[in-house]
């Protein structure tokens, strides 16, 4: 079984405003309200690829009701824990000014609810896959990912971690199956500037030496690199396309990578599926469908002489 953990999901209000002006009343040119959260994105893309998963985490209030309704409408198993205090956050994403967001805080998670999540995770068995994705609420302990990994240690659960800074570094001793930093996150970890696929390689190897089995590094328009557990290295540029929406591209990459790896146990195939899903999502308004991913996958194979 596949599980995704989204500790701080959201409703994302994505708006475009022509000629946005501070201090004035602005009217939207377009708007969308969609559930957000890295783990939710992973579950949605997995579902597009025919893999059912269980979404874990916390929801609260009427916004939490909408997140639950959304995942259930997709056929994703709803394992979210209800929290009484606060609301699932609303994030404002202003498309007119690139990178401009206002993110909510989310509900307060108490010790009893954290214990309930840990009880859910105690049910995982050998061969299960667990995605730990994204930031954590301010009310939760900073070492929550580390605690989860420690509890699963020795249980042969394949863990996929998409986190930054100490959230990522602290889980490496527990040998995560896959991590996915991008070049900017890698640069921050090692206090260097990394722009090319060749430049990230030695730092990907350092993360392997620190405990990660497989390191998948995304570089946006520069492509991606995989340093695999079997010692192979896979690198590829991305096919040309118009960037429409980069949100969720990394999540789609992880979902498709694990889909292909579970199907074939082939790191090269998994890498190219992941790259294709990331591109297909970035080149569309929504998370990529299977047909969109397959179309890009054919391009990627041709580019790499396969």
Question: At 58, is the secondary structure helix, strand, or coil?
Answer: strand
Return the pLDDT at 303.
83
Active site residues: 251
Return the pLDDT at 95.
73
Q: Establish if 80 belongs to a structural domain.
A: no
Reported pTM: 0.93
Which residues contact residue 301 at a Cβ distance below 8 angstroms, ignoring those fewer than 6 apart? 272
Check: CB of residue 176 under 8 Å from CB of residue 159: yes
Q: Establish if 191 belongs to a structural domain.
A: yes
Q: Establish if 96 belongs to a structural domain.
A: no
Return the pLDDT at 99.
60
- The CATH number given to whatever domain includes residue 257 is 3.40.1190.20
- The length of the chain is 306
CA distance 247 to 41: 9
Q: Establish if 87 belongs to a structural domain.
A: no
Question: At 30, is the secondary structure helix, strand, or coil?
Answer: strand
Residue 14 pLDDT more than 80?
Answer: yes
Q: Establish if 20 belongs to a structural domain.
A: no
């Amino acid at each position: 079984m596949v599980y995704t953990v989204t500790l701080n999901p959201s409703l994302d209000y994505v708006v475009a405003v022509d000629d946005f002006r501070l201090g004035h009343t602005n009217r939207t040119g377009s708007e969308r309200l969609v559930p957000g959260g890295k783990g939710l994105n992973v579950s949605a893309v997995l579902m597009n690829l025919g893999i059912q998963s269980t979404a874990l985490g916390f929801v609260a209030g009427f916004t939490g009701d909408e997140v639950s309704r959304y995942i259930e409408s997709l056929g994703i198993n709803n394992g979210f824990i209800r929290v009484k205090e606060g609301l699932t956050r609303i994030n404002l994403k202003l498309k007119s000014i690139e990178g401009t967001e206002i993110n909510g805080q989310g509900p307060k998670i108490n010790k009893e609810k954290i214990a309930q999540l840990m009880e859910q995770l105690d049910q995982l068995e050998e061969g299960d896959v667990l995605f730990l994705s994204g930031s954590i609420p301010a009310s939760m302990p900073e070492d929550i990912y580390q605690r989860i990994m420690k509890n699963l240690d020795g249980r042969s659960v394949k863990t996929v971690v998409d986190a930054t800074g100490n959230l990522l570094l602290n889980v490496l001793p527990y040998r995560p199956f896959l991590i996915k930093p991008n070049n900017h996150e890698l640069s921050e970890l090692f206090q260097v500037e990394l722009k090319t696929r060749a430049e990230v390689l030695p730092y990907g190897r350092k993360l392997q030496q620190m405990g990660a089995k497989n390191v998948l590094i995304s570089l946006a328009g520069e492509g991606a690199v995989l340093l695999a557990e079997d010692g192979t290295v896979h690198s590829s540029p991305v096919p040309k396309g118009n960037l429409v929406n980069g949100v969720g591209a990394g999540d789609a990459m992880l979902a498709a990578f694990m889909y292909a790896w579970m199907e074939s146990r082939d790191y090269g195939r998994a890498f190219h599926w992941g790259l294709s899903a990331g591109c297909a999502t970035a080149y569309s308004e929504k998370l990529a469908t299977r047909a969109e991913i397959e179309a890009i996958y054919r391009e990627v194979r041709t580019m790499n002489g396969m």
